[in-house]
Chains A and B, each alone.
Chain A
Amino acid sequence: MALLRRPLLLLLLLLTHQFLHSWIVFGSVNEEGQKQEDFFEELLLKPLPDRKLLTHFHFQSSAPPSSSNGRHHHLFPKAISQLVQKFRVKEMELSFTQGRWNYESWGGFDSIPSSNAKPPGVELWAVFDVPQHLIDAMWKNLTHTLSGLFCASINFLESSTAYSAPEWSFPPASGNLRYGTLPREAVCTENLTPWLKLLPCRDKAGISMLLDRPSIYRGFYHSQRLHLTSTGSGSEGLDPGIILEQTLTVVLLPNSQRASLARAGEKHVQPSWSLSSIFGKEVSGKCVLAETSNVYLLLDRGLVAELKQLRKENEKSAEKVSTSENNWTNPSFELSAKPDRIFIEESSLLSKNPSILYKFEVEKYSESEPFDLVLTWKIPVVWLCQQAPLHASRFLMGSGNERGAIAISLKSTQSSEGFVGANFDDERCELQVDVFQVVPWYVKVYFHSLQVFVDQQPKAVSDTIEKIHVSPSKDKESPGVMELVLKLPCSVSSAALTIEFDKGFLHIDEYPPDANQGFDIPSAIVSFPNFHASMVFLENDSLNQSPLLSKFQEKSPVMSYTEVLLVPLTTPDFSMPYNVITITCTVFALYFGSLLNALRRRVAEEERFLKDKAAKKTGRLPLLLSKLSAKLRGRQSEPPHSTPGSSSLVNSKLVFKVILIAGLAVCWQYYFS
């Protein structure tokens, strides 16, 4: 017994040892991982030229690569990490947008519009880290998961008619990319609440406390975005590290009743605002889980230049001693709180006027002393935001419900001319424009009808289009995708692309409930790969502390979305499918019956038969039989005598028929029951 027990014990000991060993290894990895998981919250405020205010919330949480599955996270939302693991998502972006970013007055060149201005409705793109043949399946599952997570109808992106695979024109160009939009998706609080749930403090503490639903949805534009990047793909059983970036961009008109009343005469004075006046709330301290919690105020290049100009004028006229040492007390506006830091943009080649960034740290404030930022304008300021080199807009041409044309017009923005010239003085001056356009299948685009107009002059397609990739639409299967690289001369003042299409006709079930409203063509993306929106702020140590500022430093190509187009399609009559079915079938029956009748009829024989019948009143079968026998015998047929048994013969035939049918029915019943 003892002998038998000893090896058992030994085995047990060995097992526990192994287990302990693995436990220790596991633990060490855990410890390494723990300190990496972090969360940042930031808010950027930026006055816009048309008296509005841009507020940009930026939350970033990241999870480092870690081992073992199903591990709990400290700060990172579990739903997202599970999603990344399950669908092997390399990079993904989901945005819910209501309203349209006004590129002309809100700018189109900064990194905020180029990465945060989104098309109306839902936009989703994802890059997968799986073999080609699995991507579509992964995409379908991902859309369903996201649809559940965010209470939106993202699952409509599942059908192959709704998404496309751009090859190179969409910026994170990669073969494993899928892109889909739902232009008509209504965005509301039900989408914001699950989005807030992903934040460690939700909207209970920190900057996210400001997210007051009525004031957000009262805005002119709001776009809630979720961007995730997974790094260090799961090699050696490690879960990938994930960086989750959640941004909410809202453009609001500050409620400036008082200011306008006070200075009724001065129309151009920008409305003064405070955080409490626009959101109705104040920030009472930071979210304790956040690494940093900052509020920034950004004055862009145009505004700074204008302020400098104003100050110079002031100095000339009043000959005052300038207070330029402390930048934050400016003669033209006043801030209620003293900024903790002032960043001045590293002067680049592009502009002599660097933008200025004021930083306020929320940490210092508390429940008793909440943070509120008030900006009061003293003198009217008029400035322009920096625009993308070309302003893109898109419209429909033609009337009627049969055909039409899509036109994308690119107009040069005047402000851009300066830096275009500066950029390409020595080189052969060419402006590269990428256009990415997806059209649903019921808008049947004729790609051969693509025409390019430069400065209102038609140009040969081969001269201006450097590269083109087209994947034509397949009925009820896939949308049409057009990717173009245009090379335009720098001196171009306007350019236009037109392409013709036929409107498709759908099955009665394929129309949405409000069929007469029309169908949406998703936004086209116009990007300028030669231009990069980046703002580099001179910082010494805290660079890696602020994800927002490091985001600004990234060189992202300037991108703009065009308008969503509404195409009315012809509708059939929805009320009477039965009438159509019955009438058509009647016509077919008419054809079949009348033609067969015409072929079957033998007028002469009918006449003879009727004559015979009238004369002799014999049964049909005996007549035929006698005819047959006469033929067999090769003699002339003799009129047969009327047989008394003819009726019984007919009867027996009838009986035979009945029996045959009954037999068939029995067989049928027997085999199929």
Chain B
Amino acid sequence: MEQFWSMLPQVVIDGLTLGFVYAVVALGYTMVYGILEFINFAHSEIFMFGAFVGAETLLFLQSAGVLNTMPALLALLVALIVGAVLSGFLGVAIERVAYRPLRNVGKLVPLISAIGVSFILQDVVRLVEGLWHNAFYVNYPTLFSQNLHLTKNVNVPVKTLIVIVTALGMMVALTAFVQKSRMGKALRAVAQDPTTASLMGVNVNGVISLTFFIGPALGGAAGVLFGMQYSLIHPYIGFILGLKAFTAAVFGGIGNIPGAMVGGVLLGLFETLGSAYLGMATGGVVGAEYKDVFAFVILIAVLIFKPSGLLGEVVRDKV
């Protein structure tokens, strides 16, 4: 029991960090789903792409010799912006090539196309990294190595704080954009009813492209944060993380932006708590190796008992 309490603060901080990464990735799923009722399966690979772009940016700065002289926050900002913008453009391009031609051909066809895109991205990144570095595992340059000692056994690395603060900042900015701006209003209108929105003079295709920019841009930025936090990245990091982020989006109520945030943070907390204490609770029978199962069990349970999620509304299928 004592061990339980002494571990708890550290576990909660780890869980929150992971949760915020999930939450930012989940936003991409939820935004696209809210507008097109379509699971953007390739989103997890956009996240991975963003992580690689961020790493390459930092490595470039490093090889140019400016990384150590410039303030670490500025370097992170550059990596975040480059990662987000390139991921955003990638998202728009994928939508244009692989989804738009299939927009009204049922649900199965675009979903299969999205799965295909996700596989293509994994191997293309692997190919490019392989050609470039002769290895497809990339280590992030260390930006923030300091630690904050809160108590005797609670250490908070500065980078973790930065991940949480940046993720929070992005969420606030997104909420403000969707709720207050003119484009945000158009976005909400299209999510509600694309036909009526287009009759009201909203450029529906434009809004969809915008969604496919913002969602992937957030995903790419989350990739940069992920890389900074966990340092080692490879082309297959997106798959499981994407599934969990999707779980988070469903958990919070898919299509619902605050829901994705809440769902992501809760899922990260559950997962970390589970993998830390499950072994202790079951005497080592079921341990941290089941942490991936944990997320899926939550997904299945949510879908069965409350398919609308925590904050989502009950939506009936349109006939």
* Mutual binders A and B: no
- B residues with a Cβ closer than 8 A to A are none
- A residues with a Cβ closer than 8 A to B are none
